[in-house]
């Protein structure tokens, strides 16, 4: 995400490379390039101008420490201001209520229904609540069916009334249903249109007035850039929502919506969503972390958090003992692959590690990256998996045929595996990985 903006900002900072200090001239040149980068990213010119004027003022007022290069200082100033532009601090979702009611709004095609499913899964697994999904889109063909499919995938009930075409009464009946069944969060998925119109606005306004939700979220396709910001303003003027959800962030390379929306409507971005998968594609929005990612600084905090979510202490201790005894085998390796896969998209994960994101930017890494390796391991006998030393030349030939790989690919994998074992043992000897 934000690849183009990241490249252009990096280019802007190059003006300061080799400079001994910040001056009016090199600051002005850098600020001009930053402004151009923001406008190219579909940030409104007025916002870009105000943003860069603030940066200029702060940079001119800085006394550069001898230990800090001018370029590093400028990156720090831009990072701080980007964080403020996107909201400053994280904004939590409000799920206080019996039940808590969350109203989902937005245009058709913005990803409202998919987000509703993702949010239900997040609330169920991360917040330990019992959600109910409510189908209030009474116009779009198969909208109810789509929500039911999503609900089935994540084990969440979907409330719908097929014959009822009144979204207000459906929403009210759903809340009564949730109270009876002890469901403590109600997520109401409403209808959208292809563009803002009075009929839609009246409908969403009436639903909100009738159910008085604790939280009203506006869902917007981040790829629409400045249009997303204009739509957000129209919705906010009418229904006064509490927060924004940016969807399809995996396809957005500009970032105009993320950078402009808080400034325009003065409402926080609460979630960002990537792709169609329901699991591990929804993230709480942290302005500071996003700012660091935009500037190519990675997001190691989010990376560690994702890793910790999958962390099994007993398994870690078992693995620690095996590595110490040089007994790490292919069964253990398979388990590690599964742990990584649970963390989310591999390329996104690598992008969180400082310095790695840029290196893999142009490399096509998909979630099938481990398939070849898994095919080789699955072609092994249980005995071979537990004892890698058994795999001689003849067995490697069999593994190549069984997995659909060449003998060279099998040899390369086993060599990498052996190197990894050595490295893991060495790291343990240095005290890494110990608790």
Q: How far apart are CA 120 and CA 133, in angstroms?
A: 7
> Where along the chain do the CATH 1.20.120.140 domains lie?
3-85
pLDDT category at 297 given cuts 50, 70, 90 is low
User: Is domain 304-429 annotated with CATH 1.10.3720.10?
Assistant: no
pTM of the complete model: 0.67
pLDDT category at 432 given cuts 50, 70, 90 is very low
Looking at 3.40.50.300, 3.40.50.410, 3.90.1580.10, 3.30.460.10, the CATH number of the domain 100-296 comes to 3.40.50.300
Q: What CATH homologous superfamily does 3-85 map to?
A: SRP54, nucleotide-binding domain (1.20.120.140)
Instruction: Report which of 283, 282, 279, 303 is spatially closest to residue 351, judged by C-alpha positions.
Output: 303
| DSSP-assigned letters across all residues of 287-315 | HHHHHHHHTT---HHHHHHHHHHT--HHH
Q: What angle do CA 247, 252, 255 make, to 5 degrees?
A: 95
> Where along the chain do the CATH 1.10.260.30 domains lie?
304-429
| 352-401 pLDDT tens trace | 554 445 544 554 555 566 788 889 999 999 999 988 889 898 999 999 99
State residue 12's pLDDT score. 76
Please provide the distance, in angstroms rounded to a whole number, between the alpha carbons at the two ends of the chain: 35
For the chain, state the CA radius of gyration.
Answer: 26
Q: Which residues contact 78 (CB under 8 A, 6 or more apart)?
A: 9, 34, 55, 295
C-alpha pair distances (Å), 297 with each of 73, 191, 384, 425: 14, 39, 42, 30
Q: How far apart are CA 31 and CA 25, in angstroms?
A: 10
Q: How far apart are CA 152 and CA 163, in angstroms?
A: 21
């Amino acid at each position: 995400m934000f690849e183009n903006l990241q490249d252009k900002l990096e280019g802007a900072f190059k003006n300061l490379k080799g400079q001994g200090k910040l001056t009016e001239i090199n600051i002005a040149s850098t600020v001009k390039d930053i402004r151009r980068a923001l406008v190219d990213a579909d940030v409104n010119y007025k916002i870009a101008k105000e943003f860069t004027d603030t940066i200029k003022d702060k940079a001119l007022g800085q006394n550069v420490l001898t230990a800090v290069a001018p370029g590093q200082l400028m990156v720090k100033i831009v990072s701080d201001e980007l964080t403020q532009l996107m909201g400053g601090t994280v904004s939590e979702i409000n799920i206080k209520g019996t039940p808590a009611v969350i109203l989902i709004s937005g245009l058709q095609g913005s990803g409202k229904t998919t987000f509703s499913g993702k949010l239900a899964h997040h609330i169920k697994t991360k917040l330990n609540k019992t959600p109910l999904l409510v189908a209030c889109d009474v116009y779009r063909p198969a909208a109810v069916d789509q929500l039911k499919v999503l609900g089935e995938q994540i084990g969440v009930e979907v409330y719908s009334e097929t014959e009822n075409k009144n979204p207000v009464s459906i929403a009210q009946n759903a809340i009564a249903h949730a109270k009876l069944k002890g469901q403590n969060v109600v997520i109401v998925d409403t209808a959208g249109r292809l563009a803002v119109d009075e009929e839609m606005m009246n409908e969403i306004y009436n639903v909100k007035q009738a159910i008085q939700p604790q939280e009203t979220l506006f869902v917007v396709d981040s790829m629409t850039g400045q249009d997303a910001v204009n739509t957000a303003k129209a919705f906010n003027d009418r229904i006064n929502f509490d927060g924004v959800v940016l969807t399809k962030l995996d396809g957005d390379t500009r970032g105009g919506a993320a950078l402009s929306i808080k400034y325009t409507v003065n409402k926080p971005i609460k979630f960002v969503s990537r792709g169609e998968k329901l699991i591990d594609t929804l993230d709480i929005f942290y302005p500071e972390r996003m700012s660091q990612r935009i500037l190519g600084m990675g997001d190691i905090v989010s990376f560690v958090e994702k890793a910790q979510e999958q962390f099994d202490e007993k398994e870690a201790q078992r693995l620690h003992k095996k590595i110490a005894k040089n007994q790490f085998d292919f069964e253990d390796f398979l388990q590690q692959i599964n742990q990584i896969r649970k963390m989310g998209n591999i390329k996104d994960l690598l992008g969180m590690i400082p310095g790695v994101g840029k290196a893999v930017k142009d490399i096509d890494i998909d979630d099938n990256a481990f398939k070849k390796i898994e095919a080789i391991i699955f072609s092994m006998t249980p005995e071979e998996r537990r004892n890698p030393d058994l795999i001689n030349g003849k067995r490697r030939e069999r593994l190549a045929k069984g997995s659909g790989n060449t003998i060279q690919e099998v040899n390369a994998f086993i060599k990498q595996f052996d190197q990894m074992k050595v490295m893991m043992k060495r790291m343990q000897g240095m005290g890494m990985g110990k608790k």
